[in-house]
Structure 1
Amino acid sequence: MSEAPAKRRRSVLLLVAAGVLAAALVVAGWFVVSRDRPGGTGGPGGNMAGVPSIFPVPQHARAATGAAVPLTGHVYVVAPPGTDQASIAAVQDLVTGTGGTAEVVAQLANPRDGAAAVHLGTGSAMGPALKALRVDGDSSLRDALGRAEGYAIATGQPDGIPTAVLAGRDNDGVFHAVQTLRQLLKAGSVAPVLVSDWPLMQTRGVIEGFYGTPWSHQARLDVIEFAGSQKMNTYIYSPKDDPLLRDKWRELYTDQELEELRELIDAAAANHVRFSYALSPGIDVCYSREADLEDAVAKLESLYALGVRSYVIPLDDIATKVQCAEDLREFGAGQANLAKAQASFLNDVNEKFISAKDGVLPLETVPTFYNGSPSTPYKRELGQALNPGIVVQWTGEDVVSHRITRKSAETAGQTYGTPDASRSIVIWDNYPVNDFSHDHLFLAPVIGRDADLHRSIHGIVTNPMIQPYLSLPAIFNYADLSWNGPAYNASNSMNAALALLAGPDPEVQAAVRAFVDLNQDWQDDELTPSAPELRRDIDQFWAEYDAGTQHSGALRNRAGLLQRLPALLPRMAEPGFALDGSTWVAAAAEYGRGVEEALTMLEAAKRGDTEAATAARTRVQDALKTAGAKTQPTLELGVVTPVLGNSELASFLERALQRVPAG
């Protein structure tokens, strides 16, 4: 969809340690991006003093009286029958990771001295445990346990036993509570808290919907696990260059392909993420042809047998008119009649498959005209003819929208709906997708989305980059934004994301900061200026150089750090980040070498050492040439040159070369 503009599995223990690290580093101001927005940790929805930072930011969190709950000794994991098994296993791993011993029991009877307890289950089963902590009357807790996916965490010492209670409105809520528990751990103990939390958007997730090399199977597994750990609930399988989704949509999968899909579906279920399958027949479908309808239903049936219960029929990036003689005879020409034909087909799929199956969520579609909120003949006809239960995915006012407002989303719901009822809208958000700019990475935080979008839409899914692991920071941001938009703070959220992915090594943290700084620019958006930290160091250098004052050394230090990126970034907690960005990392290192040589050249020229300046000048030119080489392979464009902070880096080198002309 976004091509239209011109322009290893990580262990639970790693996430535990990194989650705690994220809290500490955010508080310390570990990473500061150049823009901000109101909201965040102060005030409603934010974290109060004494509570570790939690992401996504919860609706309510406050410090409780009493001591922390240690998980370093013998810990009873009290899980009544029917409790979510993935949540139980995750708590066991948490306890093991702190050095404790977990014993799973259905009820707590005759606990040993010095033991602690973690109760988890749905609200009805957790009633006695919450009552024992004397929090069952808390109004925010009741709110949380009355909402889908809501959860509450409380701590205390009933009968002298250090206890944490994780109660969910449903099993999804229980799983979300465990993700928060990870972040409440400090030195092996759970901070004394009362957390009452629930999501504001019903759909929160990732759509693999870009053009270009599809993600690997392992990358999909890792992204699904990451999404679940951030309380997202949706992964939409829609890679544009999977031929069995589009070009060969009628063909069924082989047994081997079905087995891989089954593994993805099972992994999604284990992480409380719904796997949604997107079939895109619009390239050559004949909407009125019974055989095409039967082929579509047969394809969806094959996925239903694997456990898929959520489906999308995208009709984006196709011809804007009907394509077969049967459709022309039945519906006529023109865009309004295209909408009528598509609505007929979608309604038939809905009737023959979606409505006929147990447990299947409402069908979703992507219209051929999927952006812009004003009414058009196509949208008006689609809204009138399409079954009112079918959800529409929409990209905002533009294909790649820099701003998405609540008002715009409300208008879109009305435009794709009827005068009597607005259409349910899910935003397909084309950020940080880079399929229209294969030479760029987009690592700026998510900005420009209204904090109260949840009041107008069903949910939001991010369309990531071709590089899955480099997309994780933005996925983290979207999880935060879609869970609790009024409390979302772009800087804080990105700080936490980068700390999580970097791990505890200070050198690695500095390297991540430097690399991300080089990849801030998003299509010349004024809120995401290119390489702000690098630009600051360059401006400071020229001011000092021209004034003849002592150099601070900041630019030389940054040049040295850039040269060390190839060695430092692979040491991140998430090594896939460095692998995804290897060609950009190599280019950054070459630019770093060029900057260091340019500084040597300028200093030599200033002291009159022509020989040294000339030698350094040659090395600057060599680095500039190497950094500009085509090294990044693409699926359709061949090999391209990685672009990162080039306007700052290349401009600095060119300016330095002009200051020291060739002798």
Structure 2
Amino acid sequence: MKQILSSLLFAAVLSGMGGAYAQKNYEIYPVPQRQVVGSGLVSFSKSVTVVCEEAIDAATRRRAEQVLKEAGLDCTFAQEAPATGSVVYIGVNGSGGAADQRATTLALDRTSLTKAGKFDRHLLSLSDRDGSAEVVIVGENSDAAFFALASLEQMIEHGTDHLPKVKLYDYADQQSRGLVEGYYGYPYSVAVKKDLMRFMMRMKMNTYMYGAKSDVYHSQKWEAPYPATLTPQQVKNGLLTQDMIRDIAKTSQDTKVNFIWAIHPGNSFVGDANVVNRIMNKYSRMYELGVRQFAVFVDDVGVPKSEADCKTNADHLTALQAAIDKKWNNASASPEARVRPLHFVPQVYTLSWVGEADRKRFYNALSKTPDKITIYITGWGVWTVPNSNDLDVVRKELQRPAAWWWNYPCNDNADGQIYPSDMYYNFFEMPAVDNNAKMPKQLEHGLGIVSNPMQE
């Protein structure tokens, strides 16, 4: 478990929510893009009033309460700030609401909130309000404000008195940040899944893609419903019941780590004209269990090479996204009822598996699919270390950025060894990982990165 968390902590740093700051008064991970330390200290009153704008959702409100209470503070929600005592304002940029107005009054720099090509942009200010601490959080949306609370959590978890004033400005370079449970072997237990989500929430990660190869209801029995009961041995082996999925989905909603349930229809995705309806039937079952984001995996099956098959592959993906939007994303749907865009692991996820002409034909067809669908690669090889060059190749052929499925730590390619140390050391000591590849300081041309941390 420690190895998994260490891997994900590294992924959080790589995700782009990090940067240098002049004075290291607060040790926060991922390191904020910019930290401006002010003069003087502030302390929280025992009772803290939280003022949330209308756009701030229930999960973000619960998270604010959790952060404050775990720091030993009492929490009360109100429409307006009281005359005295500490206040936490939470809002959305440009809303005109209480937090947005307070940010204007304090002349907070909003440059990071509109920085192009960045994700989950937010700011946090800790200042003095007539002798008590005042926090102002403004995000580009409620999700971004939620991630700002991870910084506040780390600022006050060791004490709420005599804290340096500060302004934090943060965003992510990668849209999808987290893990994929997609290896061959026993899946994680429900307890581990939930623990990972809570850890990921603290690290501002947002993606838990589930497609365990040994889960038959993901692959071989992809149309069948999950069972209501399991034997003790099946539970030990990591299989899931419907109630377990409900439990995981609830934790996903609370942590804003999107539990993306993947279906693996195999060669039927291209070969069956009715496959979209068949997939939607299973998605509907999973939706009833609380799942609000889906993926399609068609890795390790036949690769479409003809123009017609490549087009069918892309057309089915487009039709599936359209079916999801029609069923769950109409104009009257509440935020809690809506389904986020698809993630797709294609047949050509490793660039070297087909010739250049076949690869270009394949990705050119996928370029016609909706831009909001996230498409994954593993780079030039199956275990390739993330790098900007491979992402740029796909970006040009796909005509949009792709995300990286990183098979690490995943020792299928060297199962006589385990990967016990940090990433850089393993690359140097274990050339089977990727020929002594070096981690880049920055990852460009990508839309996300998920680690596939196999239980070695």
Give the TM-score category using the shorter length: 0.7 to 0.9
**Does 1:242 pair with 2:222?**
no
Q: Of the candidates 376, 389, 403, which is equivalent to residue 356 of structure 2?
A: 376
Q: Distance in 1 between matches of 2:407 and 2:65?
A: 38
Q: Distance in 2 between matches of 1:353 and 1:378?
A: 30
| Match of residue 388 from structure 1 | 369
Which has more radius of gyration? 1
Question: 1:339 Cα deviation (Å)?
Answer: 3.6
SS at match of 2:361: helix
- Within 5 Å, which residues of 2 pair with 1:582-661? none
Question: 1:457 Cα deviation (Å)?
Answer: 1.4
**Does 1:130 pair with 2:103?**
yes
| Match of residue 382 from structure 2 | 399
Question: 1:178 Cα deviation (Å)?
Answer: 1.0
Over 3 Å counting, the alpha-carbon distance change for 1:50 and 1:192 in structure 2 is farther
1:245-272 CA deviation, whole Å, 9 max, x = no partner?
1111121223563332222122112111
Question: 1:398 Cα deviation (Å)?
Answer: 1.0
1:405-436 CA deviation, whole Å, 9 max, x = no partner?
21221112223x2xxxx143111111112344
Over 3 Å counting, the alpha-carbon distance change for 1:320 and 1:144 in structure 2 is closer
**Are the counterparts in 1 of residues 351 and 359 from structure 2 also a CA contact under 8 Å?**
no
More strand by share: 2
SS at match of 1:157: strand
**Does 1:204 pair with 2:164?**
no
SS at match of 2:446: coil
Over 3 Å counting, the alpha-carbon distance change for 1:143 and 1:439 in structure 2 is same
Q: Distance in 2 between matches of 1:227 and 1:267?
A: 12
**Kindly, what percent of the aligned residue pairs are identical?**
24
Q: Distance in 2 between matches of 1:352 and 1:99?
A: 47
**Are the counterparts in 1 of residues 350 and 378 from structure 2 also a CA contact under 8 Å?**
yes
- Within 5 Å, which residues of 2 pair with 1:82-481? 82-111=55-84, 115-123=85-93, 124=95, 125=97, 126-132=99-105, 134-136=106-108, 138-140=109-111, 142-143=113-114, 148-185=119-156, 186-189=158-161, 190-255=163-228, 257-282=241-266, 285=268, 287-320=270-303, 339-353=310-324, 357-358=328-329, 359-372=338-351, 376-386=356-366, 387-389=368-370, 390-402=373-385, 404-415=386-397, 417=398, 422-438=399-415, 440-447=417-424, 448-453=438-443, 455-466=444-455
1:178-225 CA deviation, whole Å, 9 max, x = no partner?
100122224333431110111111111211001100111111111112
Over 3 Å counting, the alpha-carbon distance change for 1:350 and 1:160 in structure 2 is closer
TM-score normalised by the chain length of structure 2:
0.78
Which amino acid is 1:52 matched to?
Y
More helix by share: 1
Q: Of the candidates 18, 37, 43, which is equivalent to residue 69 of structure 1?
A: 43
Over 3 Å counting, the alpha-carbon distance change for 1:460 and 1:50 in structure 2 is closer
Mean Cα deviation higher: 359-368 or 231-240: 359-368
SS at match of 2:87: strand
1:486-540 CA deviation, whole Å, 9 max, x = no partner?
xxxxxxxxxxxxxxxxxxxxxxxxxxxxxxxxxxxxxxxxxxxxxxxxxxxxxxx
Which amino acid is 1:426 matched to?
A
**Are the counterparts in 1 of residues 409 and 451 from structure 2 also a CA contact under 8 Å?**
yes
Please, what is the CA RMSD of the aligned residues? 3.3
Q: Distance in 1 between matches of 2:167 and 2:116?
A: 13
1:615-643 CA deviation, whole Å, 9 max, x = no partner?
xxxxxxxxxxxxxxxxxxxxxxxxxxxxx
Q: Distance in 1 between matches of 2:269 and 2:19?
A: 50
Question: 1:449 Cα deviation (Å)?
Answer: 3.9
1:166-187 CA deviation, whole Å, 9 max, x = no partner?
2222111221111001222243
**Are the counterparts in 2 of residues 339 and 378 from structure 1 also a CA contact under 8 Å?**
no
SS at match of 2:137: strand
Over 3 Å counting, the alpha-carbon distance change for 1:76 and 1:145 in structure 2 is farther
Question: 1:351 Cα deviation (Å)?
Answer: 4.1
TM-score normalised by the chain length of structure 1:
0.55
Q: Distance in 2 between matches of 1:67 and 1:424?
A: 44
The total of aligned residue pairs comes to 405
Q: Distance in 2 between matches of 1:435 and 1:354?
A: 38
Over 3 Å counting, the alpha-carbon distance change for 1:381 and 1:84 in structure 2 is same
Over 3 Å counting, the alpha-carbon distance change for 1:93 and 1:308 in structure 2 is closer
Q: Distance in 2 between matches of 1:452 and 1:360?
A: 31
Provide structure 1 residue ranges, at least 5 long, that are not aligned to the other structure: 1-7, 9-14, 16-32, 322-333, 468-663
**Does 1:79 pair with 2:52?**
yes
SS at match of 2:244: helix
Q: Distance in 2 between matches of 1:80 and 1:351?
A: 32
Which amino acid is 1:414 matched to?
K
Over 3 Å counting, the alpha-carbon distance change for 1:353 and 1:168 in structure 2 is closer
SS at match of 2:81: coil
Q: Distance in 2 between matches of 1:99 and 1:360?
A: 36
Q: Distance in 2 between matches of 1:187 and 1:214?
A: 38
Q: Distance in 2 between matches of 1:247 and 1:279?
A: 10
Q: Distance in 2 between matches of 1:351 and 1:274?
A: 20
1:273-314 CA deviation, whole Å, 9 max, x = no partner?
2221211111x5273434444322211222233443432211
Q: Distance in 1 between matches of 2:324 and 2:110?
A: 42
Q: Distance in 1 between matches of 2:375 and 2:78?
A: 45
Question: 1:89 Cα deviation (Å)?
Answer: 3.3
Q: Distance in 2 between matches of 1:399 and 1:354?
A: 32
Which amino acid is 1:408 matched to?
D
SS at match of 1:153: strand
